[in-house]
Amino acid sequence: MAAPKTWFVYLIECVDGSLYTGITVDLAARFAAHREGRGGHYTRAHPPLRMLAAEAHADRSAASKAEHSIKQLSAAQKRALAAGMSLNPLATSA
């Protein structure tokens, strides 16, 4: 049996200052897809500038619920949330 995958909810800041929220199991590949115009309709029209933050979740369900909650927030609330999140959610403190 394969080991369970870690899912991530992530926030991308777009070149126009808008924010995009999504989920993935591979942050680097998903961000590359967004940058190449293959990530989603929104990021094709609003090219991504940088990965703002990401948060690890145990499974797809938990990541989807977190994504939905984040999408209900205002841009200012999303930025405040992102300030407390990590860019590398799998890194551990020494």
In a domain, 90, yes or no: no
pLDDT(23) > 60: yes
**pTM given for the model:** 0.88
In a domain, 53, yes or no: yes
pLDDT at 39: 83
% of the chain at pLDDT higher than 70: 90
Q: Do 11 and 24 contact (CB within 8 A), yes or no?
A: no
Tell me how many domains the chain contains.
1
More confident residue, 86 or 85: 85
Contact in structure between 11 and 19 (CB atoms under 8 Å): yes
Domain span at residue 41? 7-83
What band does 56 get if pLDDT is binned at 50, 70 and 90? very high
CATH number, domain of 28, equals 3.40.1440.10
Cβ within 8 Å of residue 85, ≥6 positions away: 11, 53, 54, 55
Q: What is the mean pLDDT of the chain?
A: 90
**Termini Cα distance of the chain:** 32
